[in-house]
Each structure stands twice: as C-alpha cells, then as structure tokens.
Amino acid sequence: MRRKFLTWLLLLVCATFVVTGGLAYLQFDRQVQERANQILNTRLNDLVELLNYTNENMKHVVEINNESTLNRTRAVAELIRLNPAILLQDEQLQRLCNEMGADQLCVSDAKGFIIAASPSTLIGFDLNSHEHSRVFLKCIESPGEEIIQRPRSNAHNGEVIQYAGVTRRDAPGVVQLGFSFIHEQAVRANTAFAALTNRFKLGENGKIIAFRGGALMNGADLSFPTSDLLSLPLNKTESTKIGDREYYAHAIEKKDVRIIGLLPAEEINEISLESLKQLFISNVWLFIVMFLLVWVLLQKLVLNGLSRINRSLQRITEGYKEERVHVRDTPEFTRLSTGINSMVDSLQSYVEQRKERLQREFALARSVQNTLLPNKFPAFPEQNQFDIYATRLQSENVGGDFYDFFMADHEHLCFMLGDISTEGIPGALFMMRAMSVIRSLAATGMPPAELLTEANKTLCENNITKTRISFFLARLNINSGVLRFINAGTPQALRSASGAPFEMMPMRSGTVLGAHQNSIYRECVVALQPGDRILLYSQGILKATNAAKIPFGAARLQEALQQPTDSVTELIRTVQVELRNFTGHKEQTTDCTLLAVEFKGKWMQQKQFTLNAGDTAALSNMANGCNAMLESVLASPVAIAELQTAVADIICALPTGSEVNLRFSCNEEEAEITLTYNIQQFNPLEHLPALPLDSGVYCTDPTEGSTLKLTKSLA
C-alpha cells in the first residue's frame, strides 16, 4: 500500500509538473513582448527625463555664471573707487584683470570712450560705435544700472566673450569685464542631445535613434537605412526586421523630436529563456518539496517529529548557538535533521564571515576618510606668515568629525572644522561631498558668508539621510592678519592674543549645514596680530570620558592650553597628551578633533605711539618717529609724504580728545598702521575722501572699541 500510494503520488506530481511547464511555455511569447515593451518604454522615458534634467542644470550653470560675473565686476568698480590711481597703471590693471579671472577689463568715461583697459589695445574704443556695446551706455544714463550680456562675438576682434558692466563709483562712466566662453561651450557640447543619446545604453547592443523634422539627429554611423523607422506607431512596441536582424522597436515623441529605441530580439529572448529556465528549476524543487511533505505527513510520527524539530529551531532562533536538531525516528527525519543542522552551521558561518567583512569595510572607510584629511605637516613649508597643525582622534565609528585647510589663493588661507550628525559610511560619504563642495566654491574667491550659503543649498539637495553638519569656516589673509569666520553650529574657537591665555572668540551662531536650504550666514571679522593663535575643537574633546565616565570638560582643556608651547604643533600635542592621560586610552564614542593656526605676519620694524586726537605736538612726534623708520628702509619721499598725510587726516577725523594707540610697522616692501581707539561704530574712512593707501580694514568690538588697519606698498 505504501509503495502503491507513493507510485500514484509520484505520477500525480509529474503530471502536474508537465502541465505547469506547458502553460509556462505558452506564456513565453507574451512575456517576451511585455519585457521588451517595459525595457524600451522605461529607458526611453529615462532618456527624456535625463535630457530635461540636463537642460535645467544648464540653466542653473548660466545663472550661477552670470551672478559670479556681476559680483566680480562690482568688486572691480569698488576697487577703482578706493584707488582711482590704478586706472593709470597698466600693470596694476592687468594684475586686477587676472585676479578676477577675466580676459578683458575696460573702464570708460562719461561719453562712452574707453580710457583704461586690459589689454591696452582697447583704449579709445567708442561704446556707441557698436550695437552690442551701446547697451552699456545705460550704466552712464542710469547710475546704479548693472548689465550682463549673453556670450557673443566681441566687436573688437570677433572673439566669443561674455560682458558684464556696472556704473563707475568714482566718476561717471562704465566698468566692464569680459570673460571667455570656453568652459560653458564645453558643458553645452557635452550635454548636447546627440552626445547624451550616444552615451545612453539600451541593453548590450541596442540603439537609440532620434529624428527632428524627419532629419536624423544622431547615429550617423548606422549600418542600416532608417527611413522605415519614421512610419512606426507611437508608444507601442513592435517586432521589426532591419537588415538581417530582428529588433523590438518602440517610438515616442516629445515636442518636435521623435525618439526610437531598437532592442535586438536575441537579447530579450535570452533573458526570457533564462527566466523560463529559472521557473523550470523552481518548479522542480517546488514539486519535490511538495512530494516529500505529503509523504512525511502520512507517516505515523510526523506531527511529533515536526514538533520536536520546531522546538529545536525555536531555540536556535533565540540565540542558542549549540542547539541542534536530533530527530531520527525515520530516515526522512534523519535527513531533515541533518539538513537543518547543516543549514544552521552554514548560516552561523555566514554571519561570522559577514561580520568580518563589515569590519573590513569599516576599516576601509576609516582609511579612505583619513586619507582625505590633510595629514602632512608642515603643510605649507614655503609660507612663513603662518603655521597650522591639526589632528583627529578617531572613535570606533566611521563619520563624525572632519577638518580641512588649503590656500584659496596666494594670500588667503581657508581652514575649517565640522561635526557630522550621521555616523557610519553614510556620514563619511556626506563628509566627502561637503569637503568637495566647499573646496570648489572657495576656489572661486567667494566670501565666507556667500560660500557657506551656497554650500548649504547644495548639501540640502537630495539629503535623503537628513545629515547635518555643525561647521566652523575661517578665511585668513596671511599678509594683513584679517580673519573672517562663520560659526554654523557647535564647533568652538578660542583665541590667544600674543601669548595671552586663550579666550572664547565672540561670534554669531548660525544654522547647521544641511538643515534648511534657505539659511543665510553672516561672517565675523577680527584683525590678528603677529603671535596670535586660533584653536578650533570639536565637542568630542569636552565629552571624552575616562573609565569612571567623567567628561574631560572645558576646565581641563583650558588648563592644558595654559602650558607654554613654542608652536601650534606642540600646543595640540600637549592637549593630546593631557586627554590620553585623563581617558586612560579608553575607546571613545565620538571623534576628538583639534586644529590650531598661528599668525606670524611679515617681518617688520615696529613702534608704538599713544596720543590724543587734536594734540598737534604728539602728532608731530609720531610723524617724526614714523619718518625715521621709513627712511631706514629706503622708502621714497613721495610714499613717506602720502603716509604722513593719510595718518594725520585719519587722526584729525576722530573726535577731539580721543585716545589713540597707534602701532607702526614697516619693511622694504610695505608699511602697516594699526589704530585702536575707544570709540565704537566710527570709521574715519567713511568721512574722508579716497586716501593714497592700498587697503583699510575696520572692525569694532563692544569691549575693546574700534580697530582700523591700514596698509601701503613701498615697493
């Protein structure tokens, strides 16, 4: 009976298998057609979306380029206002043109004639003589007007140039900058319709062909005629023979462009045959399992055996690694027990292997993350105006803190410290993206506030993980010592003024990056003196705990910073030693990051003066002392007279009786004058005509009063 039942059961299973296989084969053609339609329709619509996305991105490129061009033109107009003498200096104009990344710089008078230009061959050109340049006369007729043109051929030599113009701020006229259009032309060529369709894959050997008005837009190298493709119906997949090959063709039409996708039939058939094969194998295993289950259920002890197996499996799922199934009442249960035990052994082995693999992946992510952070010191051996050092004690997680520093140009050092909210590999990837975005924006010369605003907009886009970055960004002029910085979140900054104890820098706390796309950031400005140090540290320093879970805290950090050190490298290493001694080398859950910068400035003779505004005798003594220093470095009489007049005018512009501390420094190349007075919100430069100085930076502090830093070249 047992053998007979087993025979009939086997015949029934085989018959069911044959019927199921026959029905599956009958569905083969329909599945092929549906799969071809799905692939072609999806890929063609993906191509259309890519084209739309590319066009939108190109619009954004043009908008960003126009805004950057206008910003640089405004900057040139402001520089000319501050120093009109630059119009008479061809080398200065050429240097200014190069610094702005422009190909041409033109300044015209009130009648529209160019009076100063780089290159100088443009001098004398009449803006009214050509329709493209005539539009800039509006800047003379309507002061404050700003014009940005589309790239077009230059009226002077036919070169493709994009011009921007603003009203002169020192006199009636126009300031223009011209930029070549090579990069945007390259972007347009790379995103052209034909280039995109030629790069867009459709299967292994599929093709995408496009027509506009019946004319072929791409695929000029096709080996078969394309005229019959225009008669294909829209939005429907059909089988067609082209040459000696069978294709599935699908046509769509967007505006005046007809796009046709061709997918070789053998590719679809191969995929469908593989699916049919997999279905066949799956059915084989399915019917085998069904047969075994029915047979086992007919056994006398099936329920009891299954119950005992379930109990063992339950313990295994609860985490008892040593538990195994030992049901051997019948050969079937013996085989089942052996199979389950083998599977459990394999799963446990897989889990261990997976754990080891994840550990290796985390180690690799840590290695990549550490490689991206600058770790070569001294970082800028050719620079003697500053010193910088940074380190990060990495936690057990990937992600967390990061730092970066680089020279934005020949006289500006950018340095930053950030703390990423998302840990693990997603946090590390977001860190890489943030560093790339900020570096690329900094290379444009963008001010810190505008840079961080644009970076935040970029980082908010497609921020699926909702990652946030607490961020500190600073930009240091290594010659003047002017430090512009922004704090967006929790990273803190301390300042040590010429060896004095470190104190918290007064700053505004902005919104973290990645939170709100429309966040606006405002920068703070301080004037550093030679010997001043800036220390940035992450919250991980204060939160680091010892074995008793006591945090390191701000008091211990301040105590470590009190120890005398000869360099910022020694300063950070001192803090590291104190931190390790406190934590006992305990593994921390958050990164501990430090970055320190010391401003050294150029070597100069220095002399201090204290006088009251209106005290002519003290003013005369100060002038004599400064003249003696200038004569010792062989400054020209003209430069000495200009400096003496400028400083006297500034001091006389202050309210009578105001106490002024003046520090005068000079070498063979330049002179620096720093005036400190106890009057807030008063900048004498705003009350005086343009002075013969190279730069003037004003900043005010609620406790220290006002500081005005002036520079003049003596070379």
| Confidence category of residue 165, pLDDT binned at 50, 70, 90 | very high
Each residue's pLDDT tens digit, 126-142: 888 888 888 888 888 88
Token pair recorded at residue 71: 């910003």
Q: Would you say residue 580 has pLDDT above 50?
A: yes
Q: Would you say residue 296 has pLDDT above 70?
A: no
Residue 569: predicted pLDDT? 93
Q: Would you say residue 178 has pLDDT above 80?
A: yes
From the centroid of its chain, how far is CA 541?
26
| Confidence category of residue 1, pLDDT binned at 50, 70, 90 | very low
Least-confidence region, from 205-219, 554-568, 617-631: 205-219
**426-432 long-range contacts, CB within 8 A, separation 24+:** 426/399, 426/465, 426/467, 427/398, 427/399, 427/400, 427/467, 428/365, 428/368, 428/369, 428/398, 428/399, 430/399, 430/459, 430/465, 430/467, 430/469, 430/514, 431/369, 431/372, 431/399, 431/402, 432/369, 432/372
Higher pLDDT among residues 156 and 434, named by residue? 434
Q: Would you say residue 366 has pLDDT above 70?
A: no
Share of the chain above pLDDT 70, in %: 84
> Does a cis peptide bond (omega within 30 degrees of 0) precede residue 637?
no
Each residue's pLDDT tens digit, 29-85: 677 777 777 777 787 787 777 777 777 777 887 888 888 888 988 888 888 888 888
pTM of the predicted protein model: 0.44
Q: Would you say residue 396 has pLDDT above 50?
A: yes
Q: Would you say residue 570 has pLDDT above 90?
A: yes
Higher pLDDT among residues 709 and 227, named by residue? 709
Comparing C-alpha atoms, which of 236, 240, 205 is closest to residue 225?
A: 240
Sign of CA dihedral 485, 490, 491, 493: positive
Beta strands 492-496 and 482-488 are unpaired
Least-confidence region, from 154-163, 195-204, 249-258, 536-545: 195-204
Mean pLDDT, rounded, for 336-357: 76
Q: Can you give 630-654 as a three-state secondary structure string?
A: HHHCCCCHHHHHHHHHHHHHHHHHC
Residue 133: predicted pLDDT? 83
Beta strands 659-666 and 605-612 are antiparallel
| Confidence category of residue 166, pLDDT binned at 50, 70, 90 | very high
Residue 685: count of CB within 10 angstroms of its CB: 19
Q: Would you say residue 682 has pLDDT above 70?
A: yes
Residue 190: predicted pLDDT? 47
Cα–Cα distance measured from residue 3 to residue 298, given in angstroms and rounded to the nearest whole number? 13
Residue 265: predicted pLDDT? 77
Mean pLDDT, rounded, for 220-225: 61
**Sequence letter at residue 90:** D
Q: What is the length of the chain?
A: 715
Residue 572: predicted pLDDT? 93
Mean pLDDT, rounded, for 627-631: 88
Least-confidence region, from 176-180, 338-342, 447-451, 500-504: 338-342
Q: Would you say residue 348 has pLDDT above 90?
A: no
Average per-residue pLDDT in the chain?
81
What is the residue-wise DSSP string for 644-683?
A: HHHHHHHHHHSPTT-EEEEEEEE-SSEEEEEEEES-TT--
Q: By CB neighbour count within 10 A (0-12 exposed, 13-18 middle, 19+ buried), where does 77 fall?
A: buried
